[in-house]
Amino acid sequence: MKTFIIRDYPDLDHIFPLIKIFVEKNKKVNVLNFEINLNLDEDPRIKYLLENYGDYLNLVEIYKLKGQRIFLDKILNILASEKYKYVNFKNVNNLKNNNNLIIFYYLFFICFLKKIIFSANSFYGRLFFNHRWAENMIKKLNITSVVMDDSYYLNFSRPQSLIKACKTKGIKITIVPHTCFMFTRIEDTRNLRSKNLKNLYANLIVTSDKIKKIFNSCGIDNEKIINLGSARFSKDNINLLEKIYGNQKGHDKNLKNNKLNILYIDGAYDITDKKIELIHEISKLNKFNFIVKAHPRGLFQFDKVNEKEKKFKKNNSTNFLLDISTPTKKLIEESDIIIGTYSSALIDAIILKKKLLFPKFLLNKDSKFEIFYENYNVANSFLNLNDLLKFLTNIDQLKFTKFIDEYDSDIFLRDYVYGGKKNSDEILNNYFKFLEAN
């Protein structure tokens, strides 16, 4: 059975449309949740698939899967059970406040077990997620081919036993983009070149010829790389997400309607001190409503949101809305001005012809970022915060118009999003044909 592996919500952004096109063609698939703290069945996209194509979708919490290793598999099953679903170090304060001391120490031990077993590249992780664990998974779930994101395949230890077992059994693997690449940086290229990729087992799908050349320069055989564009930003997927999220509330009712809306999309690699200053200063501009979209690994890490927000609120002149749950696309639709560096979510802003501001000063110069859209007429670039603030201050609200040039945005989308094609009409069908054969 075709098997899709999910380890985080950003993975689902790019893999969801692939799952959908299989189940709508009445093809049965496995979807494996590889993250113990990820509530995949609560995601609106997965709910949609279960409600409409439930007969063809086998959603598996992989750590609940029964195995033949009496001791190791039993521990995994216990830790992944509903009873301990929210027992982890991110929730330790609530556990302490809501339980007596003896129970708290027991739950703390459960937290400790989760930490040492599920930490990346740990000794205990290698012990628990070994070849027997992988072979049991393949047998019980009838896995005949695997789809996972490129970063998980290339950079993480946990799926390696499954990858090795697939190689041994001749089970095909396709690795798909974990993002629609908007940039390169020197650390990522060095990381790829440090790996022995000449004999890469999996087929690799990319979103542009630029990325294809980069992977090829890092040792991957050109015949192993296919440019199909971004499934996430295909027209069919965008229209479906409109249907799924259509009734979800944004911030419209909480914003003053006589002001322009600014959205800053937090980037995990943005320099922390400089983006804190950016948020402080923009929030002082009373002529705008200001929203900050949190990144799960950025400044406002989801488990530390309250702590971070309190630090900002100490400054009485700082005023912004922090969002951790609304789909970024919906926030972009509601906003007039988008500020961001390299997030693939910025593609939604380009598709919607929003005014896009690129604060280049947030990027670490030593990383030698190359931002792909910078050479297209789709954004205003700023080398320092003062120039960005001056630009915002001088905006005439009554004469405000969209900035993006339609011709340049279409060329950018062709080059970096649609796989070199004029539009996205055939992207999902091309993915299906390739994955069906592999």
Tens digit of pLDDT at every position of the chain (438 positions):
999 999 988 889 999 999 999 999 999 999 999 998 888 989 999 999 999 999 999 999 999 999 889 899 999 999 999 999 889 888 888 898 889 999 999 999 999 999 999 987 788 888 999 999 999 999 999 999 999 999 999 989 899 999 999 999 999 999 999 888 888 888 888 888 888 888 899 999 999 999 999 999 999 999 999 999 999 999 999 999 989 887 665 555 555 667 889 999 998 778 888 988 999 999 989 889 999 998 766 566 544 544 444 455 445 456 788 888 788 888 998 899 999 998 888 999 999 889 999 999 998 887 788 888 888 888 899 999 999 999 999 887 656 665 556 668 889 999 999 999 999 999 999 999 999 999
- Structure pTM? 0.88
Say if CB 197 and CB 147 are below 8 A apart.
no
pLDDT given at position 61: 94
C-alpha neighbours within 13 Å on the C-beta side of residue 20: 25
181, 185, 187, 192 alpha-carbon torsion, rounded to 10°: 50
pLDDT given at position 28: 97
pLDDT given at position 265: 92
pLDDT given at position 310: 46
pLDDT given at position 176: 95
Exposed (0-12), middle (13-18) or buried (19+): which is 46, by Cβ within 10 Å? Answer: buried
Of residues 316, 308, 258, 329, the one with CA closest to residue 288? 258
pLDDT given at position 185: 82
